[in-house]
A and B are shown apart, each in its own frame.
Chain A
Amino acid sequence: MFGVALDSLDEYKLVHIHSEAVPDDIGRVADVALASPVGEWWISAYEHQIEGIVIETGLRPGVTDREGAELVREAGVLGVDIATATIGRRFVLHPTAGTELDADQVAVVANRVLHNEVIERWAVGHLEPAFVGDHDEAPAVEIIEMTDLTDLDLETLNNERRLGLDHVEMVAIRDHFFEIGRNPTDAELETLAQTWSEHCAHKTFGAHIDVVDRDGAIVETIDGLLSQFLRAATDAIDAEWVRSAFVDNAGIVAFDDKNDIALKAETHNHPSALEPFGGANTGVGGVVRDILGVSAKPIAVSDILCFGPSDLDPAELPDGVLHPKRIRDGVIAGVGDYGNKIGVPNIAGAIVHDPAYTTTPLVFAGCFGVLPTGSNPTDPKAGDSIVVLGGAVGRDGVGGATFSSQTMQAETAEVAGSSVQIGDPIVEKGLIDVVVAARDARLYNAITDCGAGGLSSSIGEMAQEVGAIVDLRRVPRKYPGLAPWEVWLSEAQERMVMAVPDPAPLLTLAERWGVGAAVVGTFTGKGRLVVVDGDESVIDIGCTFLHDGRPRRHMLATRPAVGRPQRRPVPDDFDESDATLELLAHPNIRSNEAVIRTYDHEVQGGTVVRPYGGVAADGPADGTAVIPLGTDSGRAMVIGIGVNCLMGDIDAEAMAWNVVDEAVRNAIIAGADPSQLSLLDNFAWGNPTDPDTLGRLVEACRGCHDAALAFGAPFVSGKDSLYNVFVGPDGEPDPVASTLVLTAIGVCAKPETVPLTGATAPGNEVWLVGPEAGSLGGSHLDAVLGDDLGGDLPRPDPAAVSRHHEVASAIAGGLVVSAHDLSEGGLAVAAAEWAFAGRVGLDLEVPGDEFTLFGEGAGRYLVEVAAGDSERFGAVVGSASRIGMVTDTNRVVAGPVELTHEQIQRAFVGGEVVS
């Protein structure tokens, strides 16, 4: 490991206790709270006899330390007073006999394996614990001299404070304060930077864009990507089931005659790159609060993850980047931990691997909730109290919105360490209980979550129309010593903000469920955002300037080149069966069941279509479905997801269309009604100030618009993550692959008709819906061949729409026993997965060319139909052709492809066959 030879490495949990209690009392606490009769023991760390090299690690002050806090609480129950406790770890390294470790090697082990500097500290030997409270006196409000700065000095200020603003924005702020005759406070400047950040203001999606051709001539002007493409599609479709699109924390659509569904997906890329567990953990926490922020009870979460290759040679890793395997393990653990602990099933997702994600991994987290129709009030009234629910604030996560709106560099981990946090999911579980109870008792006039930008964003946005006054002294803190602007900007997790006419019953409710609550201010009706710290003024700015004062961005995009080289033939020694096995083993296709098993997809008892199914529950499903707990219509909410990492940089428009189609067909197979689909978009792109990058984004938005119109499926919410670029020590930018994740949500009226996962019964017929041949440009076949053989990408295919409707009709009519969509790897892969899931054979008569076997494209399915239903199915699904039979063998035959279950399992899952 990193050139270090170790015989073994022991790990012990360290508990630092700060208390004036006598040792016997501490021992009594340890006996009860730390040891157990079977298997756990404790000893004073000073009496711990050890040989070897000792490394101790501990959390940085203020990082969430649930165990330390619970130990203090439990000691209190036992009548022992402990001031603070914090948890660390003691590692003992035993070098291989005859070898020694020098200080550098010890440091490598500590840094690469044992700790993450973003949230932890370490030392050889004893590490002094950092108890919260060990802080200096609170700094006062600082005035930023700005009004007489030159343009150059403005840029220096922008960089020094990492504001991440455009030059014209800095000028606008300077000029505003010049006009009103004073300089801004630090809190005012930081609030403007957060509010005007890409993360909060979506400047690129709102910008005026000139699209130029290769000669520099303007060929198109775009009046905002959001309004011209995404919102335009939603407006044109004008769907009666859309209750709220784009304006709230989450989209809201109709579910049954009493309830609505709220949906949202977010990215948490930059934090996950630095602290994978914490970044992904708080990513889930954040999107769950988006759902709470529209008064909905969370019923499902989803995660789409993009990583570099797990087997990457560590020598190829740039400085400042964690290894893809470490990122993957940490992110998956973080996603699972949060969803599992808040009791919301994780039922949908995807994991994509590509070298383009090595330096910029992507973490998309979605959440879905249910709320009684019309139960989300959105109107703070003058005189309402401002109540903050949840945890206390610390220096954690200060500046997250500006941090996530900039490119990352090798040294970002050091600079932005405080932007990353660890979640505390059980506090969020309490928030869910309180918010739902408060909603049902109609205790608030408006609600929002506290996310990026902390109180500055949440209260700032709620106060947009009415204005507010806030006293920071009333904001609960984890420890003293915080500057006022830090309290205001802290992104301490697990907090919600409400506008409340009468706080008393809400405070009682919060106490009952063990959730913190504090009244921190009042909505005033005066149109100004005023923040004080006791007697001291911290912020006093007009809401109009804060929310409407930002100059609109003007940007330049280059129209991508069109045309692809003609498809070249596959190599002479190409073997269709081997290629299918290689595809099944490709990291984007192979089984993720081992990951899914670490996520609770059953809690709440509503899951009806799971991510993996079939006779041994190891076959991949397409979409998934859940019957929301507490609803009684018998309907299920269906989730379909589409993502593709290979096509976006070649033809972003075609990629977007195909990703929409993939999300839709996944939803169709899980029973969704195609006449009532809603979409979420999540873009993860590079630096939009690069005209080529922005040009691809324009085309992707165009593809989204056209596909949404064709499918009649409106966008109801979305989120863009830009600046996913890593600038290495050599100064060369390494941008992410242009990536779009599409989530389709639908409603299934009859969950009992949803096709099973995996083919089921020998003797049944197999039908192919859609064209026999697909396209191979940007295909996974080329990925496993390691060569772009050219050829077109799958073109937008409006005829796919009617195929989706036909398949859905057949499903609703009970004519589809099982089905699987054709996606990555095409027909051969789909047939192999489908047969393996059901442990049945397939005998398919198809042409043996690679376009048929491996081509990809829109609106294609394999469907199992009972022999007796053949005629009816053919009549309903006019676009289908009968291509073969389910057999009682363990062989999948499709033209020249011939594979056994054992071969499929070894490639797709690895390991031994479970029959």
Chain B
Amino acid sequence: MSGVVRVLIPVALGTNRDADLAAAFEAAGAEADRVPLTALRSGEKKLADYQILAVPGGFSYGDALGAGRLLGLDMSGWFSEQLREAVSAEMPVFGVCNGFQALVRAGLLPGDGDAVLAHNMNHRFECRWVTLEADGANSSPWLAGLDEPIRCPVAHGEGRFVAGDIDTIEDRNGVALRYLGDDHLPAGGAYPANPNGSMNDIAGITDPSGLVIGLMPHPENHVFDRQDPLRGRFAGGNCLPLFKAGVDAVS
């Protein structure tokens, strides 16, 4: 495909990290378009005119009835046909935080079983920097550039990944990213390295195709070195390779 990669960033009422996500994809060389759902619903904008779908963080519909639920229902309801076509055309899909929650609610993730992003183990909204490592066995194109750990913030109250059948996801190497401790060993469920108590330290997963990725942390908030609170004093790089890999996959 020639030309600049176009990323669709859907904006529901209450979505709020849309501009952050757009800035990250733009830093990776793509052109990002923040589109209100009303414009998708009216047909003014079409998913088919883009090469990547990136569902941003925030509090879509105020998290009413559960984080991501109503946006997920939008996706599995009136938006489902466009989405099905896009997925069957092998469009990469990226969901971060509330976007991840919505992809799970919509059934796109994990894609082969039930899962939920439950309330954090400490029952609080939690904003702190975490260290993440890509699972080397996962062959998703999104992870192609992640040779070393990355660091970025989490900011959520409902991010504890719980799967109905975790072994199925592990067995197909569907875990994308895990929380690491400061020593760069697995967090082992320990707070605060694993900030929410997720099963198996899971921060993000992919669907069986590897094209749909969802994660709770915010890599879009660490694509420039100036955003690093430790200013490079400790290992753990920025997250730009994640976005570049996605863009490269469709370039």
Q: Is A570 an interface residue (CB 8 A)?
A: no
Of A229-237, A403-411, A541-549, A601-609, the one touching chain B: A601-609
Give chain A nearest CB distance to B250 CB in angstroms: 24
Contact with A along B52-86 (1 / 0, CB 8 A): 00000111011111100110011001100000000
Contact B227 A607 (CB under 8 A): yes
Max chain B C-beta neighbours (<10 A), residue from A602, A607, A629, A751: A602
Contact of A603 with B221 at beta-carbon distance under 8 Å, contacts A429-B16, A598-B126, A752-B226 already known:
yes
In the complex the two chains form, what is the Cα distance from A429 to B224 in whole Å? 26
Which residues of the partner chain B approach A37 to less than 8 Å between Cβ atoms?
114, 116, 164
* B-contacting 9-mer, from A300-308, A334-342, A451-459, A659-667: A334-342
Residues of A within 8 A of B231 (CB): 752, 756
Could you give, for residues 510-523 of chain A, a 1 whenever the CB lies within 8 Å of some chain B CB and a 0 otherwise?
01111000000000
Which of these, B20, B65, B226, contacts A604 with CB under 8 Å?
B20
Instruction: Decide yes or no whether A426 CB sits under 8 A from chain B.
Output: yes
Chain B residue nearest in CB terms to A513: B36
Assess the A608–B36 pair: CB atoms within 8 A: no
User: A29: shortest Cβ distance to chain B, in Å?
Assistant: 10
* Cα–Cα distance between A74 and B66 once the two chains are bound (Å): 13
The CA of A756 and the CA of B234, in the complex, are separated in Å by: 13
A390 an interface residue at 8 Å Cβ cutoff?
Answer: no
Q: Answer yes or no: B136 CB below 8 A from chain A CBs.
A: no
Chain A residues near B62: list those with CB within 8 A. Answer: 66-67, 70, 341, 424-426
Contact check, B69 vs A343: say whether CB atoms are below 8 A apart: no
Q: Which residue of A lies closest to B163 (CB)?
A: A38
Question: Interface code B104-143, partner A: CB below 8 Å = 1, 0 otherwise?
Answer: 0100000000111010000011111100000000000000
Contacts of A426 in B (CB 8 A): 13-14, 59, 61-62
In the complex with contacts A77-B74, A78-B77, A605-B23, A40-B66 CB distance below 8 A: yes
Interface string of A414-434 (1 = CB under 8 A from B): 000000000011110110010
- Give the residue of A66, A514, A752 whose beta carbon is less than 8 angstroms from that of B38: A514
Complex interface: chain B residues within 8 A of A429 (CB): 13-16, 58
Nearest chain B residue, comparing its CB with the CB of A752: B226
- In residues 617-631 of chain A, which contact B (Cβ within 8 Å)? 617, 627, 629-630
Given A341-B59, A514-B38, A601:B20 Cβ within 8 A: no
A286 to B22, CA, bound (A): 28
Q: Using Cβ atoms and an 8 Å threshold, which residues of chain B touch A617?
A: 128-129, 229
Instruction: With both chains docked as a complex, state the minimum distance between the C-beta of B225 and any C-beta of chain A, in angstroms.
Output: 9
CA distance A610 to B229 in the complex (A): 7
Q: Which residues of A contact B229 (CB under 8 A)?
A: 610, 613, 617
B39 touches A (CB below 8 Å): yes
Q: A33-44 interface mask toward B, CB cutoff 8 Å, 1 = contact, 0 = none?
A: 110111110000
Asked if residues B23 and A598 are in contact (CB atoms below 8 Å), the reply is no
Inter-chain contacts of A596 with B (CB < 8 A): 127
Smallest Cβ-Cβ distance to A15: which chain B residue: B65
Q: Is B19 an interface residue (CB 8 A)?
A: yes
Question: Given that A429-B16, A629-B19, A752-B226 are contacting pairs, would A77 and B73 also be in contact in the complex, using a CB cutoff of 8 Å?
Answer: yes
B226: chain A residues at CB < 8 Å are 608, 627, 751-752
Interchain CB contact (< 8 A) of B73 among A33, A425, A513, A603: A33
Give Cα A597 to B61, complex, Å. Answer: 23
Residue ID in chain A nearest B154 by CB atoms? A602
Closest to A71 in B: B65
Among A343, A598, A599, A617, max chain B CB count under 10 A is at A343
Residues in A neighbouring B24, C-beta threshold 8 A: 605
From A66, A73, A78, A602, B221 is in contact (CB under 8 Å) with A602
A610 to B129, CA, bound (A): 11
> A298 → chain B, closest Cβ, in Å?
11
Q: Check B188 for interface membership: any CB of A closer than 8 A.
A: no
Q: Are B65 and A605 in contact (CB under 8 A)?
A: no
Does B6 interact with chain A (Cβ within 8 Å)? Answer: no
- State in angstroms the CA–CA spacing of A605 and B21 once bound together: 9
Is A32 in the interface zone, CB < 8 Å from B? yes
Cβ of B218 within 8 Å of any chain A Cβ, yes or no, is yes
Residue interface bits B222-248, CB-to-A below 8 A is 1, else 0:
011011011101100000000000000
B87 is an interface residue with CB less than 8 A from chain A: no
* Chain A residues positioned under 8 Å from B37 (CB to CB): 514
**Known A70-B65, A74-B65: A38·B23 in contact at CB below 8 Å:** no
Given contacts A77-B78, A512-B36, A605-B23, is CB(A70)–CB(B64) below 8 Å? yes
Q: Kindly state whether residue B153 has any CB partner on chain A within 8 Å.
A: yes
Interface residue? B144 (CB, 8 A): no
A166 sits at the interface (CB 8 A):
no
Q: Which residues in A have their C-beta under 8 angstroms from that of B153?
A: 602
CB <8 Å contact, A36 and B66:
yes
**A-chain residues with CB within 8 Å of residue B17 when the two chains form the complex:** 343, 603
Is A600 part of the contact surface with B, judged by Cβ < 8 Å?
A: yes
Q: Looking at B16, B63, B234, which has the most chain A CB atoms within 10 Å of its CB?
A: B16
- Smallest CB–CB gap between A64 and chain B, Å? 10
B249 at the A interface (CB under 8 A)? no
How long is the Cα–Cα vector from A358 to B39 in the complex, in angstroms?
50
Question: In whole angstroms, how far apart are the Cα atoms of A374 and B117 in the complex?
Answer: 45
Query: Are B218 and A602 in contact (CB-based, < 8 A)?
Result: yes
Asked, given contacts A38-B114, A511-B38, whether A340 binds B19 with beta carbons under 8 Å apart, the answer is: no
In the complex, how many angstroms separate the beta carbon of B80 from the nearest chain A beta carbon?
Answer: 11
* A604 B19 Cβ-Cβ under 8 A: yes
In addition to A70-B65, A615-B230, A629-B19, 11 A-B residue pairs with Cβ atoms within 8 Å of each other are A34-B65, A66-B61, A336-B125, A341-B58, A341-B63, A424-B62, A599-B125, A603-B57, A605-B220, A613-B229, A752-B226
Listed by A's residue number, 23 A-B pairs whose Cβ atoms lie within 8 Å are A37-B116, A38-B118, A38-B164, A69-B64, A70-B61, A71-B65, A77-B78, A343-B16, A343-B58, A425-B59, A427-B13, A429-B14, A513-B13, A513-B36, A597-B128, A598-B125, A600-B155, A603-B155, A610-B229, A613-B229, A617-B129, A629-B20, A752-B226
Which 5 A-B pairs give the minimum distances between C-beta atoms? A343-B16, A426-B14, A70-B64, A38-B116, A37-B114
